[in-house]
Structures are given as structure tokens and as C-alpha cells.
Amino acid sequence: MNIKSTWNIPPENFFLSNQDLHVWRAALDLKRDRIQEYSKWLSNDEMEKAESYYSVRDKDRYVVARGILRTILASYSGTEPAAIRFCYEENGKPVLLDPYGKKSIYFNVSHSEGLALYVFARSFNVGIDVEFMRDISEMDEIVKEFFSAKERICFDALPAGERKKVFFKWWTLKEAYTKATGRAVFHSSDEPDVLALIDEQENSWHIMGNSDDASTWSISDITPDQDCAGAIAVEGTDFNIHYWHWPNEHESVW
């Protein structure tokens, strides 16, 4: 798997084949007219979720993230953004329904601050995560609770200046995997160990302790932006990956 994150403007008629994996990034801080346009396509439950945000900025970012999600899915499925219908799995993961009530496209979305990442596939279950690399006062406590013993040893040995970057790199790898699989994580023994590197050059990661997952899952970190960490997890090992940059007409520069 080639995970080099070269973000391109998509062609006018882009197509998602059975062997494709499409990863998109998008800016979420847009002008008011664009936000209002996206809001018209959202369902009642999505608008209720938007209204639950305390700040106007967070509400607007959620609306834009969902509007872009609907736009991309509509392009893949040949319908209108407002016609997209979702249901939710037991773990809360959204699933796209086709007119016959079956899965037609696997997808996942994550956003942090003003940046969103999306991943889409027709033949592979997928997960994605992005985090703005900010200072976290409870970082050491999170490492103790959710990192494996081997990870904790390696993390503690890192120079102080490298810890934040490594923390978010490992955390997004774990989050992408758990979002893809739908598995609940309660303590470090449930987490994938990101220190078992398969191929250092390709930067692909191996699931330790589970031979089935090790042979069927691909996990890797990606670079959405210099201040963000990102990762994808794919239930497959043979696919063509494309990185697209969503061309908002009024996008901000993150």
C-alpha cells in the first residue's frame, strides 16, 4: 500500500471502483452563504446534532463536514446530497443505505478544528481519524491507560520535544482501527500495538496479537497537514489509494 499523502484536486468526473480507496481532506471554515447551502441538505437528526454544539463555530464546522460528506456520497451514487440516507450501527458508526436498504459504499469521517478527513471504498471496510496536534495536560495519563506496555516504555524514552507528535501519530492509528472495526476500547490490552512495523519504507502497520487481523488489515498514518496527525485503517491489502483535496470555492487556509 502506498500511503504517500499527495493531495490532488479531483478530476471533473471521478469514479470509485471496487479496487479504489479514496481519501479526501476538506477545510471547514467557510463563508455564511456556503454554510447555509450545506445546511439545507442535512436531515432532522443531523440538524439536531448541529444545534447541540455550544459554539457557533463548532456548529458551522459540523454542518460543513456533513454537507461535504453528502456531496461526495451523492457524486459516487448518482443522486442528490439531500437524498442521501443514513442508518447507524450499534456502535454509532453511520452507514449509507442504497434504495434497497443495503450497504453500497463504505465510508468514515473525522474532523478536528477546521479540517475534515473522509475515506470511501466499495469493497473494504474503512476507518479514519484526524487530530490537531495540540498540547494536552493529561497526555501521560492517557498513555498509561490506553497504550500497551511496549508503547509506554518507548514513549517514556522519547525526548520531551518529540512526545506530542508521536502521541498523536499513535493515537490516530488506534482510533482509525477501532472506528473501522467497531470494537470498543476500554484499556490498553484492547488496543492495537502500533509498534509492530511491517514495512518501514511504506509505513504500514501490523496488528499484534491477532493473526487474522494481521493478515487482512492495513493501517497507516497519513499527513493531512503539518499541524495535524491522521491515519486510515482498511480491511484489505490490495487496493488503489487516491488522495483528493476538496475544492471549496471559499475555503480558508489551515
- What is the average per-residue pLDDT within 82-107? 76
3-state DSSP assignment of residue 160: helix
Give the per-residue pLDDT at 224: 92
Give the per-residue pLDDT at 88: 78
198 membership: H or E segment, kind and range: strand 197-199
Which of 11-25, 53-67, 225-239 has maximum average pLDDT? 53-67
Q: Which of 140, 129, 106 is nearest to 239 (CA)?
A: 106
pLDDT level of residue 87 (50, 70, 90 thresholds): confident
| Grid cell at residue 215 | 493478515
| Grid cell at residue 175 | 482510533
Return all residues near 105 (Cβ < 8 A) that are at least 6 apart.
16, 73, 76, 77, 96, 120, 121, 122
pLDDT level of residue 5 (50, 70, 90 thresholds): low
- What is the average per-residue pLDDT within 182-192? 59
Q: What is the pLDDT of residues 140-172, one digit of tens each?
A: 999 998 888 888 888 999 999 999 999 999 899
pLDDT level of residue 33 (50, 70, 90 thresholds): very high
- What is the average per-residue pLDDT within 211-215? 59
| Grid cell at residue 19 | 479496487
Give the per-residue pLDDT at 191: 59
More confident residue, 188 or 160: 160
Give the per-residue pLDDT at 237: 82
